[in-house]
Structure 1
């Protein structure tokens, strides 16, 4: 729930590869804009990527920056609610999905709870996260790790294409 707490800058990974993936990603951004306690301050371009450790159609991915007065777990619940509105099912790990929203970063916090790990544990291994993140936050630092740009070379072999308008 929103409170009188100071706003925190959070980064959200957005992806989809079932149904109208592009429309689902764009709708997720619109829903984030309307979410109580959230103000979307930046959204990356859309990117096409092949599934990693999964199957199905290519993904559409983006990253959004949100100023939020929600705590991390409440923001995660908001993300799950948006996924559910798109019929998200979790039949098995890395299953194709109508919408996937990941809390990548929450300020400078490092969180390890049964339901949430921040920074997202695989974000530095995925071009579909790093490329859009660096587009909107080129100087971002991953708490407990290093500058995000330090990981870019390790994902350069992963195919990712920026959507052209």
Structure 2
């Protein structure tokens, strides 16, 4: 019997199409042309047939959380996608987009041109060292939760309303809507 015998129910054909899974990604930037970087990253993240854009949030401006003091303020947003990539394939894709924007990882939570985090991947839970899902600190970060709630007021994370989690997050005070936040919204299919 061949390795790819289609008569076997567990057979994996090389040309088999994986089902699409919804995922939420968080994007942030506090170096360079922040808004342009975020908008370019949205386009690059969905510029392949195995990733489709569902929605994007408005852009918000936030103070840095953690990391070295004296960093510039961040622009943050979230986006919802559908992808046929597996979680690790999506992680590699997100990191490739970060690298195209000259992302460096010299200092944990340091200033960066672009940060792309996978917040959720369907209903998958994983405590893998390379990729923990849902994102382990997302439920405490208003810079993720608030734009997510603006994009999807009914969203939940670990069965908790994202909007309520945002309001309780320590970094919620001081979040501002970014004045030029509509340029990343083109292409959302909702």
Q: TM-score, normalized by length of structure 2?
A: 0.80
C-alpha displacement at 1:135, in angstroms? Answer: 1.3
- Counterpart-to-counterpart distance in 1, 2:151 and 2:62: 18
Checking the alignment, whether the CA contact within 8 Å between 2:142 and 2:167 is kept in structure 1 is no
- Counterpart-to-counterpart distance in 2, 1:125 and 1:113: 20
- In structure 2, what is the equivalent of residue 133 of structure 1? 148
> 1:68-95 deviations in whole A, cap 9, x for unaligned?
1111110010000000000100002101
Q: Which runs of no fewer than 5 residues in structure 2 stay unpaired?
A: 1-14, 181-190
Q: How does 1:60-99 map to 2 (within 5 A)?
A: 60-99=75-114
> 1:93-130 deviations in whole A, cap 9, x for unaligned?
10100000000010111111120011111111111100
> 1:50-83 deviations in whole A, cap 9, x for unaligned?
1011331100100000011111110010000000
C-alpha displacement at 1:152, in angstroms? Answer: 2.5
Q: How does 1:84-163 map to 2 (within 5 A)?
A: 84-143=99-158, 145-155=159-169, 157-163=172-178
Partner SS, residue 139 of structure 2: helix
- Counterpart-to-counterpart distance in 2, 1:3 and 1:89: 36
Q: How many residues align?
A: 163
Partner SS, residue 101 of structure 1: strand
C-alpha displacement at 1:36, in angstroms? Answer: 3.8
- In structure 1, what is the equivalent of residue 32 of structure 2? 19
- Counterpart-to-counterpart distance in 2, 1:118 and 1:158: 26
C-alpha displacement at 1:45, in angstroms? Answer: 0.6
Checking the alignment, whether the CA contact within 8 Å between 1:3 and 1:69 is kept in structure 2 is no
Q: Which runs of no fewer than 5 residues in structure 1 stay unpaired?
A: none
Q: TM-score, normalized by length of structure 1?
A: 0.92
Larger C-alpha radius of gyration, 1 or 2? 2
- In structure 1, what is the equivalent of residue 186 of structure 2? none
